[in-house]
Each structure stands twice: as structure tokens, then as C-alpha cells.
Structure 1
Amino acid sequence: MTLRLRSLGWIWSLAAFAAGLLSAGMWFASAQAWDKYLTRSFVAGFAVYEELRTGIAPATGVRITPLSPDAAALAEAGMFEQIPGISGRGFVTNLSILTDSSAPLNGRVLTLAVMSDRLVYPISGIVSGIDQTGPEKMGNLTRLLATYCSEPILIAQYGRGPWQQVDGTDIWGCKAAPTDLRLPAILAAIVAMAVILTSIGNVSDTFTRFSQALRDRRRRGGPESYDADGPEELRDIVSAVNAHLDDERAQLEKRAIVLSGVSHDLGTPATRVRLRAALIRDDELREKLEADVDQMTGMIESVLTYTRSELNVEAPRQISLTSLVESLVADYQDTGQPVTLLETAPVTVEGAPSVFMSRRGRGSLTETRRILVTARPVSLKRALTNLIDNALKYGRHAEIALETDAQCATIIVEDKGADLSVEDIEALLSPFRRGSNIGSSDGFGLGLTIATTVAEQHGGTLSFEAGEQGLRALLRITR
């Protein structure tokens, strides 16, 4: 079942709202429970202080028992960890609370030893609180004990009274603490956000993958039709694109069929005209008639070649662009044509800085590697042939060079002595446009048009610029 983007947007929004509401509820509920727990511990500290001062019954959950004479002697000597019945609580926190801060010399002191099984408590803030009364300091101490997960027991002496053991772990102990859901609330929010963002990213990636496949269709080829998993809108787009590709393919095929039929149908009368022209005794008239027939059939073949390049029937594959250019130049040279291939400039590399030298070293790599590209070799060779033929027609010599980087490869064809400017040659890119030497050269004005089409099929461009000796054509393709 596929959903539309509007439905997915509602689902994502509601899921984000529900996750945020759940996380916030867990956070605030846990924070409120902890506030109650700490407040209860603070109030219990007040009650413990009053019990130690007046001897009234302690608060519920607090047990205050006097120490035995032997245990009291150990407490008086400061050896709290040796008191019987407090095994496993080897961490001692000592502090004294002045009961009357306004009369430090006459006021009584509450001496305390906190026996913990895990840690020594940071009590500097409690001891240094001059503006706090004794009960407030005791309440702050028990609140501090509740903040940490431990099972502390207090050994206390009010003034010169007896030593007593205070066990309030049912109130400020670790087991009495509420479950802290704040960290799970944060984790739940993070997980929900990750799930929602992943879902959004997956939907976005379906559009990105389809657009990339459609963009690379001309260069890498593609299937007859596309199929994509994703929201309903993407499926509608894919269906419309498939219909458009079918219509475009049908039109091109129909055009090729019509041109092929015309070429075939013209073959028989052209042959008859050629045979009848051979019977003409006037040599000049016969040659003109045969030239007209050749021009007619050649024009049809050129249009067929252009249409086949538009049909893009050749499958792309990985080839060595260096080998293709070298073989094509060698073919021209074998027939005595003035075509040369310039050597590729060596690649210059810059070394890393050294601790012994302030300058970076430089070096060059010899060109022993091949330029590999994904291309249609027949179409690319046809386009390059058209550019070389144009250079030979409008100039006297053709020089071929190769340039490359990580993304593109450029084939440069430069002629010598061409009278055309860059604007003139760019005007010849349109179909059936020919130069000023129309009377002295063959062709039908489709060579540059075919070269431009081939460049676009390879994800590149065909452009021109003024060179040192003539015009320079740059056929750039994506590697």
C-alpha cells in the first residue's frame, strides 16, 4: 500500500507530536516525582534534628537508636567505621552543625558522621551556610543524601548528649528514590526523531535516485521504462515519464522508418536515372546529372545517420578514449591526411612540506595511463570524424589533443588557417547549414549537428574557441 506525500506528512507530524508529548510527559512526571522525593527528605531532616534536640518521636520511616557504651566509645574516639552493625559502609563524611549561628561560642554543636557504602558526600555548601539555621542545615544534608544513590546511616551527637544511630534509608536511601525517567525520555525523543528523519530521507532518496537515473539516461543508456517504489506522487511522475519516453521513442522510430522507406524507394528510380544518364552522350550534362543523383542519395543517408544518433541504439560501455583517438588519427595518417595527435602533457604533482626544507617539492608523472570513459564508441568516433573532416575542409591541418580530469574528458581538434570565426562556426551547428566553401567540399550540413547530439548523449558539450593558428573545437564528455 502506497501513501501520498500529504498523508505521509500528516503521519510524520503526528508521530513527532506524539513522541514529543510522550518524552515531555516522562520528563516532567519524573522531575515532579524527584521534587517530592527530595522535599520529603528535606522535611525528614527537620524531624531528625528536632528528635536529636528534644527527644520527641521521629518522623515515619526514620529509626533513631542510642549506641551501646562500646559503640559510643568508638564514636567518641572517631573510629566510626569500627562500630558494630555498620558493616560495608567504609566511606565516612564528618561534619558539625552549629545549632545557633548567632552565638557561636554558646551554641550547641550537632556532630554527625555519615556512613556510606559508596561515596564521601560534598558537604562544603552545607557547612559554609552561615545564614541557615540548624534544622535547615540538617534538612539540606538529608536532601543531599537523597540526591545520590546510596544507603547512608548517620551517627549523631547533639551537644554533649549520647551518641545515636539514625537510619532513614527508607526515606533518603537509593531504594526509596523514584525511577528516573529523564534519560529514557531523551533517548525516546532521539529514537523517534531518528525514525522520522530516516523515513523522510528514504522518501527523498526515491525522488533523488529517479531523477539521477533520468539525468544519466542519455549518457549511460536506460531501460525501456522505469519503476520506482515510493509515494503515490512519485509513481504518477514515473508513469508520466514512461508515457513520454514511449511517445518519443515511437516518433523517432516512425521518423527512421519513413526515412528508411524513402531511401529505399529512391534507390530504384535513382538507379534507373543513373543508368539512363550513362546513355547521355554529352559528358558535362551526364556528370552534372550523376552528381545531382549522388547528392540526393547522400542527403537521405545523412538524415538517416542523424536520426539513428537520436535513437541512441548503441549501448554505452567502458572504453579507452586514448586508444580510440590514436586509432582514428592513425587511419587518417594512413591515407595521407595531415592529422596529428599531440602528446599529452605530463601530470605535475606537488610534494608534502618537509621539516628540513621550507619549499615543497615538485615532480611530474609520465603519461603511461589510459583515459577510461563510459561511452558509445561508434557514435563518439563518428562525432570526432566529423570534427576532423571540418578542420580539414576549412583549414589545412588538424591537430588532436586530449585533456582530462576526474569528471570530464575533452577532445580538442584545432585546424590551421581557417577563415571562419567562432560566431560563424557556431551558426553551422543547426541542421543543413553549410559554410562558405559549399561549392568546393562535400557534405550536407549535418556533421556538426551530429557531433553536438553525440556530445549531449555523453553528458557533455561541443564548443568552439579561437586557437593559436585557427579554430579550436572542444568535445567535452563526462567520464
Structure 2
Amino acid sequence: MTISAFIAGGIVVWLWVQSNFDWREYQSRAYVTGIGVHGALKDNAIPPRGVRFEVLSEQDQTLATTGDFQQITGAPHAAQETNIPISADTANPQTDAPLTLVILSPDLVYRVADLSVEEGQTAAIKTGNVFRLLASYCSDPLVLARFGEAPWMRIDGASVWGCDAAPYDRRLLAALLAAIVIAILMTISLNLSSDFTLFATQLRNRRRVGGPASYDIKGPQELQDIVASVNAYLETERAQLEGRAAVLSGVSHDLGTPATRLRLRAALIKDQVLRGKLEADIDSMTDMIESVLTYTRAEMNVENPRKISLTALLGAVVSNYEDMGHAVSLQPAKDVIVKGGSSVFMSRQGQTVMVGEREVTIMGRPISLERALTNLIDNALKYGRRATVSLETDAETATIVVEDEGADNLAVDIEALMAPFQRGDNTKTIKGYGLGLTIVATIASLHGGSLIFEDTTKGVAARLQIRRG
């Protein structure tokens, strides 16, 4: 790209410089011709090369003398008239006379103010500047001249200052080429940047949307090296998780047989108190292993996301608890006011109301979300008198709120218990292993969200926020 940019830049500069040089040479030639025209008119001599003098007819002489130039034979239709009087040189007042130039153009009135006027300029130089001005525009005008009291002359110099004599202006081509080159380079640069940005986005959302096991190695060499390193890391991480799950699954399976034997042998113990304690220890051991396996499965992200109705999921889970007689209720969703974007055509933002009783669909993992909701409801029932479930949504996120009632915990204390195997001081008499909130937080992270707690007037509310897309 750098070499191509330098080559293209060199071509653009050459086109621009060459075009400027051609135009300066073209205008200089017209300037020199103008000086020669003044001398030829003054001395009644042969005009310069490329210029032809023609005396007007008697009728045209009369029209020119009376100033009716537009009626002269050969004058452009609806011509624009430019009169330029050039005074005689003061150094030779006896031999010089004023020169009157009349330019009839079909397109424009020439800007006489653009002529350079310097102190000490001769009439010949002024005439040369006029003809340089003629060469600055493509108009093919009719030029009439009268030196002193001599007859009016038609000056034909199209081969010197006409449109066909003008050089090809490559500056527009150079500007267009420069714009194309800049656009190509910017496009390539932005594409390179977008490759990195796209990969970063895919990697960031990999766990949430069920990303691939490995990513295609494409793009610039730097990105290919990064993707190769990430693929190697993901493979190592996946192998570690699979190994951990295999070990735990194997331990769970291997412990099943001795646990069954212990349960059978415990049934033979006549002491009911001792038998109950042994059976409780066996249940605690198997439940602990099953909790660890559940956490590992959630961490491994084995369930593929799909489009589900979050409203129906919450209703089904709450209904199951209500059927079992638990104090769990589902609050109806509230109406949401959505503000529209600002517009140059309106002084204020519009807004619309999203009705609360509507179906909320998301891309998620239904089994994982059901497990997370169940854990939150179970915690609310364990440490409070009831659980109230509600749903808050906007265009990008959906938040499941589970609020308990009468709990003695504070939100800041509960957030400290989201690490694995962390339990509060008031949970020693309550069955559990400190993995419930850890599993919920992991599931929230898999859905691009988070789990936070906040104090309410009734107790503590758990807010499980997930992204809808």
C-alpha cells in the first residue's frame, strides 16, 4: 500500500505540475502575441504568427464608430461586450496613439479588474495582458481593435487563444485520481480496522451467542497471528474444562456405587438416630458432587442459544412453584415509555408506549435461564417469607427481578457470596453448598449480562440482566 500510494502520489503531482506548466506556457504565448499585435497595429506591419488582421467593411466601420458593435457582421448572438481602452505611452506621445479593444463574447464579460496594472507599464505590455486574459477562458470571442484614428480591425487569433488551442487541463484528472487513491487507501485501512473490530466483537460475545470452537484465520498477518494464538488458548481452555468435567463426572459415577452400598448398610443399622445421620451425610455428599457438576456444565456452555419467550418461561416457572403451594408470585410487566431519536425537523423528541402485557423474546439458553431463576427463587424462599418475580425490559436488555420479603441480609453482603463455595454466617442451618449464586452469575455472563443485588423496603432484590439480541 505504501509503494502504491507513493506511485499514485507521484502520478498526481506530475499531472498537476505538467498541466500548470502547459497553461502557463499557453498564456505566455498569448501574452507575447498580444505585445506583437500592439506593435503590428502601431507600425501597420504584418501581424504575429497565428494572427490575422481584417479591416471591417464600410457598413461595419459605421456600426463600430457609433458603438453598435453587436450588429457587426460575424458578431455572436446576444454577445457580452467588454471595452478595454489602452492609453498611449507617455514616453512617445507624438508617435503613439491610444488603442481601443472591444471583445464580443457569447459567454461572458471579461473581468478587466483581473488585469495586472503596474506603474510604468507600456501599452504593449497592457495589450499582452489583455490577450493573456483571453487565453484564460474558453470562449472564442470576436476581437475588434482600433489604433488611434485608424480603421477598425478584426483580429482573428483563435489558433493562439481559442478553445481549440488551449492545452488539455489534467488538474481535474489529477484531483479525481487523488480522490480515488485516497478512497481506496481509506477503504483498505478501514477494512483492516474492521477485521480487528469484528474479531474482537465475536470473541467478546463468544460465550453469550455460542461461538465456534475455533475462528477462521484470515485477514492481515497480524490478525492471523492473534487468531491463531486465541484458537490455541481456547483449545487449551476447552481441554481443561473437559478434563475437569470428566474427572468430576467420573468421581460422581464412582461414588455412586459405594454410596449405594453405604445406604444399604445404613438401612441395617437399628439405631434410628445414627442411621439418619449416616443417610444425611450420604445425601449431602451426592448433592455436593451434583452441584459441582451443574456449575461445571454451566461454565462449559454446552447449551446452544435459541429464540425463546422469556415471558412464557417466567410464567411456567412461577406456576410450578404456585402449584406446590410456595409463596411465589409473578407481577405483571409495567408499560415502558420509549423516546424516539432527535430530528432536525422536530424541536422535541417523540415517544411511544410499549404495553407491559406483551411477549418478550430473547436469544438465550432456556434450561440455563430456568436453573438461574429457580436458584434465585429458592434463595428468596430460604431466607425470606416469599418471592416476587417481575420482568423489566428495554430495546437491548431484559432484567429478571426476584425480590424476597423479610430477609435479614443486605445487598452488599449477598454480592460478596457470588464466589464459589461462599456462604453467609446465617446459612449454617440451611442446606446448601455455596454454588447457587455462582451458577446464576455464570449464566448471566453467558447471556451478556450481570447479576446484582439491591436493597428494597421489603428485603433484597436480585436483578438478573441479560441481553436480548
TM over 0.5: yes
Sort the Cα spacing of 1:92 and 1:422 in 2 relative to 1 into closer, same or farther, 3 A: closer
What does the per-residue CA deviation read over 1:406-427, in whole Å, with 9 as the maximum and x for residues that have no partner? 2221111111121222343223
Match of 1:155 among 144, 164, 173: 144
C-alpha distance in structure 2 between counterparts of 1:92 and 1:225, whole Å: 75
C-alpha distance in structure 2 between counterparts of 1:299 and 1:66, whole Å: 118
| Structure 2 residue matching 1:254: 3-state secondary structure | helix
Residue 4 of structure 1 corresponds to which residue in structure 2?
none
Residue 190 of structure 2 corresponds to which residue in structure 1?
201
Residue 58 of structure 2 corresponds to which residue in structure 1?
69
Residue 99 of structure 1 corresponds to which residue in structure 2?
87
C-alpha distance in structure 1 between counterparts of 2:215 and 2:114, whole Å: 71
Match of 1:190 among 159, 175, 179: 179
C-alpha distance in structure 2 between counterparts of 1:262 and 1:156, whole Å: 113
Residue 15 of structure 2 corresponds to which residue in structure 1?
26
What does the per-residue CA deviation read over 1:105-141, in whole Å, with 9 as the maximum and x for residues that have no partner? 9984423332334434333555999975432332222
What does the per-residue CA deviation read over 1:252-274, in whole Å, with 9 as the maximum and x for residues that have no partner? 11221221121111111111111
Cα deviation for residue 435 of structure 1 reads 3.0
Cα deviation for residue 216 of structure 1 reads 0.8
Q: How does 1:24-63 map to 2 (within 5 A)?
A: 24-63=13-52
Tell whether the 8 Å contact from 1:352 to 1:360 is kept in structure 2 after alignment: yes
Amino acid aligned to 1:378: I
Cα deviation for residue 386 of structure 1 reads 0.6
Residue 409 of structure 2 corresponds to which residue in structure 1?
420
Residue 165 of structure 1 corresponds to which residue in structure 2?
154
Amino acid aligned to 1:266: L
Cα deviation for residue 208 of structure 1 reads 1.3
Match of 2:291 among 269, 291, 302: 302
Match of 2:264 among 272, 275, 286: 275
Sort the Cα spacing of 1:101 and 1:295 in 2 relative to 1 into closer, same or farther, 3 A: same
Amino acid aligned to 1:97: P
Cα deviation for residue 382 of structure 1 reads 0.3
C-alpha distance in structure 1 between counterparts of 2:350 and 2:397, whole Å: 28
What does the per-residue CA deviation read over 1:423-468, in whole Å, with 9 as the maximum and x for residues that have no partner? 4322321222223344432222211111111111111111112111
Residue 101 of structure 2 corresponds to which residue in structure 1?
112
Tell whether the 8 Å contact from 1:422 to 1:466 is kept in structure 2 after alignment: yes
Residue 6 of structure 1 corresponds to which residue in structure 2?
none
What does the per-residue CA deviation read over 1:321-361, in whole Å, with 9 as the maximum and x for residues that have no partner? 122112111111111111112222222367999xxxx9999
TM-score (norm 2): 0.90
Q: How does 1:57-456 map to 2 (within 5 A)?
A: 57-84=46-73, 86=74, 91-100=79-88, 108-123=97-112, 132-348=121-337, 365-456=354-445
C-alpha distance in structure 1 between counterparts of 2:87 and 2:209, whole Å: 88
Sort the Cα spacing of 1:388 and 1:75 in 2 relative to 1 into closer, same or farther, 3 A: same
C-alpha distance in structure 1 between counterparts of 2:149 and 2:77, whole Å: 25
Cα deviation for residue 95 of structure 1 reads 1.6
C-alpha distance in structure 2 between counterparts of 1:470 and 1:36, whole Å: 90
Cα deviation for residue 193 of structure 1 reads 0.6
Residue 459 of structure 2 corresponds to which residue in structure 1?
470
TM-score (norm 1): 0.89
Tell whether the 8 Å contact from 2:86 to 2:126 is kept in structure 1 after alignment: no
Q: How many residues align?
A: 462
C-alpha distance in structure 2 between counterparts of 1:71 and 1:477, whole Å: 92
C-alpha distance in structure 1 between counterparts of 2:228 and 2:326, whole Å: 51
Q: Could you tell me the percent identity over the aligned residues?
A: 50
Amino acid aligned to 2:312: S
What does the per-residue CA deviation read over 1:127-174, in whole Å, with 9 as the maximum and x for residues that have no partner? 999975432332222111101112223222212212222111111111
C-alpha distance in structure 2 between counterparts of 1:245 and 1:19, whole Å: 43
Tell whether the 8 Å contact from 2:76 to 2:104 is kept in structure 1 after alignment: no
| Structure 2 residue matching 1:456: 3-state secondary structure | helix
Tell whether the 8 Å contact from 1:112 to 1:155 is kept in structure 2 after alignment: yes
Amino acid aligned to 1:430: A
Structure 2: runs of 5+ lacking an equivalent: none
C-alpha distance in structure 1 between counterparts of 2:115 and 2:452, whole Å: 82
Cα deviation for residue 380 of structure 1 reads 0.9
Tell whether the 8 Å contact from 1:39 to 1:143 is kept in structure 2 after alignment: yes
| Structure 1 residue matching 2:425: 3-state secondary structure | coil
Sort the Cα spacing of 1:425 and 1:359 in 2 relative to 1 into closer, same or farther, 3 A: closer
C-alpha distance in structure 2 between counterparts of 1:124 and 1:292, whole Å: 107
Sort the Cα spacing of 1:396 and 1:73 in 2 relative to 1 into closer, same or farther, 3 A: same
Structure 1: runs of 5+ lacking an equivalent: 1-11
Amino acid aligned to 1:425: I
Tell whether the 8 Å contact from 1:458 to 1:478 is kept in structure 2 after alignment: yes
